Amino acid sequence: MRNKEQALATKYLQKDAGSDGRNLHNAQALAQLQKKIGIAFRNPALLSEALTHRSFLNEVPKEKRERFAHNERLEFLGDAVLELAVTDKLYRMFPGVPEGKLTDYRSALVNMTSLAETADKLGLNDFLLLSQGEVKGPDRARERILENAFEALVGAIYIDRGFGVATLFLDDVLFVKIDTIIAGRQYLNPKSHFQEIVQEREKVTPHYETLKETGTDHEKVFRIGVFFGERLVAEGDGKSKQEAEQDAARKALEKEYGIVLKNSSL
CA distance 225 to 79: 26
Identified catalytic residue from 72, 75, 151, 237: 151
Measured CA to CA in angstroms, residue 66 lies from 17, 30, 152 at distances of: 12, 21, 20
Residue 49 annotated as catalytic: no
Q: Is the dihedral of CA 92, 93, 96, 101 positive or negative?
A: negative
Residue 79 annotated as catalytic: yes
In this structure, what DSSP letter does residue 247 have? H
Cβ atoms of 227 and 213 within 8 Å: the answer is no
70-107 exposure pattern, b = at least 16 Cβ within 10 A, e = fewer: bbbebbebbbebbeebbeebbeeeeeeeeeeebebbbb
Q: Nearest Cα to 29, choosing from 177, 15, 119?
A: 15
Q: Are strands 231-238 and 221-228 parallel, antiparallel or unpaired?
A: antiparallel
Cβ atoms of 158 and 166 within 8 Å: the answer is yes
Identified catalytic residue from 49, 72, 75, 79: 79
Q: Is the dihedral of CA 96, 98, 104, 109 positive or negative?
A: positive
Q: Which residues participate in catalysis according to the annotation? A: 79, 151
